[in-house]
Amino acid sequence: MTSTSQPQEMPPQVRILDMLLGMMKTQAIHEAVRLNLAELVKDGPRSVAELAEETQTHPVSLLRLMRTLEGLGLFAEVEEGKYGQSQLSHFLRPGVPGSMYDVASIHGALWQWRPWENFSYSLQTGKTAFDQLFGMSLFEYFASHPGEGAGFQQAMAGFSKQVDIPLAQGYDYSSFSTIVDIGGGFGGLLSTILRTHPQLSGILFDLPHVIDAAHEQTAAADIAERCRLVAGDVFQAREIPQGADAYIMKQMIKDWNDEAAVQILTNCRRAMRPGGKILVAEQLILPGQHMLPAKLIDLQLMVVLSGQERTEAEYRALFEKAGLTLARVVPTHSPYSILEGIVQ
């Protein structure tokens, strides 16, 4: 009779060390994406010598990186010094369904990395480390560094694609005829909603430089006739499209502090038609060890922006200050819920 040994749980010290090594994992993956390693092995395994020549890197240094990436489950060593694709590294290729390429590109970028050097400043003062370090807000930085701003928008669009279908299918939009996507970026969510609900017309609303880029991506789309693009500033109430049935905002309210968030919600409430609804799609902070990614992103928001992830109670308070009632929270088949705001 043989016994099957159960895997032992890692000792506490090993678990803590693994957490502390997170910064190294981030940079290793960021470099893999910067060098486009996953794309280079898409057609089959390549030797480190070949990869080093193609990426203009130091062969021994690249070997050390590849060993680490293999240890993370990214890439597979098929024979000594020769690496091929793994199930995970496939998603570091640009353009493939579910790609994390653009998201990995901004994790490790200087604008996102350096503010963490000043994390204690945010912790002690409640102010944004990014602003203190760069002398401007993140969105001002993107306006003056359009390449990095475009990379950020592309990453957000790529990440958002993974939840667009659950958000489009997880809420009943049948009572609406017109919906406005506030801060909708390149229009991924709005396009998905319009395709899922053919009775709807939509308006994509974002800053002028974002809308300029969105025109290229929506002009040839099958929903172009039902989708209008409007440039403006959500903090300027008169610029928000008026009289729609619903105003949806995904991953937007969390970018702002309470005062700014209330102003956004108030401006949208004033713009909507009587009986309209405000729909906020966000992750909700839950107690305990649930929703760890959202809690880490919450710290990121503290460091680079003035925003935060919130609990249901905190969103309820924001809605009330904006003259809205949080009527219900609709869960979806994703980490995101849709918070429905109405005027009582």
Residue 202 reports pLDDT greater than 70: yes
- In this structure, of 91-95, 154-158, 169-173, the range with the lowest mean pLDDT score is 154-158
**Polymer length of the chain:** 344
* CA–CA gap between residue 301 and residue 308 (Å, rounded): 6
Bridge partners (DSSP) listed for residue 77: 83
What confidence tens digit (pLDDT) does each residue in 296-310 have?
A: 999 999 999 989 999
User: pTM (2 decimals)?
Assistant: 0.85
What does the radius of gyration of the chain's CA atoms come to, in whole angstroms? Answer: 22
What's the pLDDT at 325?
A: 98
Tokens matching residue 32: 């893999």
Second-level CATH architecture of 155-342: 3-Layer(aba) Sandwich (3.40)
What's the pLDDT at 8?
A: 66
Amino acid identity, residue 187?
Answer: G
Q: State how far the alpha carbon of 252 is from the alpha carbons of 138, 184, 264, 340, in Å.
A: 14, 9, 10, 15
- Whole-number percent of the chain with pLDDT over 70: 96
Q: Which residues lie below 8 Å from residue 67, measured CB to CB, with a gap of 6+?
A: 77
pLDDT category of residue 51 using cuts at 50, 70 and 90: very high
- The domain defined by 12-101 folds into Arc Repressor Mutant, subunit A (1.10.10)
Mean pLDDT of the region 278-290: 91
Residue 6 reports pLDDT greater than 70: no
- Whole-number percent of the chain with pLDDT over 90: 81
What's the pLDDT at 322?
A: 98
Domain positions in the chain are 12-101, 155-342
What's the pLDDT at 1?
A: 43
* CA–CA gap between residue 106 and residue 113 (Å, rounded): 9
Residue 55 reports pLDDT greater than 80: yes
Mean pLDDT of the region 122-137: 95
Terminal-to-terminal C-alpha distance of the chain: 70
Tokens 């017109």, residue? 178
Ranges 51-60, 95-104, 207-216, most confident: 51-60
What's the pLDDT at 158?
A: 78
What is the dihedral angle through the alpha carbons of 322, 324, 327, 330, rounded to the nearest 10 degrees? -40
Assign 3-class secondary structure to the chain.
Answer: CCCCCCCCCCCHHHHHHHHHCHHHHHHHHHHHHHCCHHHHCCCCCEEHHHHHHHHCCCHHHHHHHHHHHHHCCCCEEEECCEEECCCCHHHHCCCCCCCCHHHHHHCCCHHHHHHHHHHHHHHHHCCCHHHHHHCCCHHHHHHHCHHHHHHHHHHHHHHHHHHHHHHHHCCCCCCCCEEEEECCCCCHHHHHHHHHCCCCEEEEEECHHHHHHHHHHHCCCCCHHHEEEEECCCCCHHHCCCCCCEEEEECCHHHCCHHHHHHHHHHHHHHCCCCCEEEEEECECCCCCCCHHHHHHHHHHHHHCCCCCECHHHHHHHHHHCCCEEEEEEECCCCCEEEEEECC
What's the pLDDT at 220?
A: 57
* CA–CA gap between residue 204 and residue 35 (Å, rounded): 34
- Give the other-Cβ count within 10 Å of 222's Cβ: 10
* CA–CA gap between residue 261 and residue 322 (Å, rounded): 9
- Give the other-Cβ count within 10 Å of 74's Cβ: 24
pLDDT category of residue 16 using cuts at 50, 70 and 90: very high
68 phi/psi in degrees, rounded to 5: -65, -45
What confidence tens digit (pLDDT) does each residue in 238-249 have?
A: 999 999 999 999
Tokens matching residue 163: 């939840």
